[in-house]
Amino acid sequence: MLKVAIIFHSVSGTTKKLAEAVGHGAMSISGVEVIKMEIVGADIVEGRFINSILIERLKDVDAIIFGSPTFMGCVSAQFKAFADATGDLWAEKAWSNKIASGFTIGSNLSGDQLNTIQYLQIFANQHGMLWASLDILGNYDPKNRNRLGAQSGLIAHSKGGELNEIDLNTANYLGQRVANVAKRFAVKEI
Ligand SMILES: Cc1cc2nc3c(=O)[nH]c(=O)nc-3n(C[C@H](O)[C@H](O)[C@H](O)COP(=O)(O)O)c2cc1C
């Protein structure tokens, strides 16, 4: 089985709903197992992410999809604490050649969410991962998915905590896409 991990942080639950939709999408691809992991406040002590079991579990997967709300134009502090705790994996090149992608959400239509996606991509690239973009053409999808038109990853928008059905459909597709890319390019034999 190919393993696709989804690691995310969420405060009020909208990123979590996206993570669930991404997971359903990835799970719908045959031969793929999904591992969903949530970064929680208790994982962070004196500013440092200390959940080494979670980090260890991410060694044995073929793809990782990162999710964070956009807070002040970038990932949340909790997500960044997790990212900073992966330094040992970076030194071992433990994630090198794994497939990566990412998603974010903000309460503004153009609330600098792209910066969050770009950070996630740079984080993945620091680890030598292979970034899978969102290959849905903005404005040209018959189902109107990727309604906000970002193709580096999924950008979603929610006002008042309600998820847009189209964003959830796009998230589902992102999961499928990463699973399919992992099937095609993952280094490990299936
Ligand atoms: C501290 C803070 C900063 C935020 N900064 C942004 C922002 O820069 N751009 C934006 O569009 N939304 C911003 N928001 C709104 C959140 O991204 C939005 O409510 C999101 O859905 C929260 O995700 P969650 O439900 O997974 O916690 C901010 C919210 C908070 C609490």
* Residue span of the structural domain in which 30 resides: 2-185
Distance 70 CA to ligand 1 centre (A): 5
Number of domains comprising the chain: 1
Residue spans of the chain under pLDDT 70: 187-190
pLDDT in tens, 48-83: 999 999 999 999 999 999 999 999 999 999 999 999
The continuous run of DSSP H or E covering 133 comes out as none
Closest CA to 7 of 90, 108, 79, 73: 79
In a domain, 142, yes or no: yes
pLDDT of res. 189:
47
SS3 (DSSP) at 141: coil
**Residue 136: how many other CB atoms lie within 10 Å:** 21
Residue 67 Cβ contacting ligand 1 at under 6 Å: no
pLDDT of res. 190:
44
In a domain, 161, yes or no: yes
pLDDT of res. 87:
97
- What's the CATH number where 170 sits? 3.40.50.360
Residue 158 Cβ contacting ligand 1 at under 6 Å: yes
Residue 15 Cβ contacting ligand 1 at under 6 Å: yes
Per the CB < 8 A criterion, the answer to whether 70 and 112 are in contact is yes
In a domain, 190, yes or no: no
In a domain, 34, yes or no: yes
In a domain, 83, yes or no: yes
Closest CA to 139 of 129, 151, 130, 128: 151
SS3 (DSSP) at 145: coil
- pTM assigned to the model: 0.97
In a domain, 117, yes or no: yes
Distance CA 102, CA 107 (A): 18
SS3 (DSSP) at 135: coil
pLDDT of res. 121:
98
Residue 107 Cβ contacting ligand 1 at under 6 Å: yes
In a domain, 149, yes or no: yes
Per the CB < 8 A criterion, the answer to whether 113 and 104 are in contact is yes
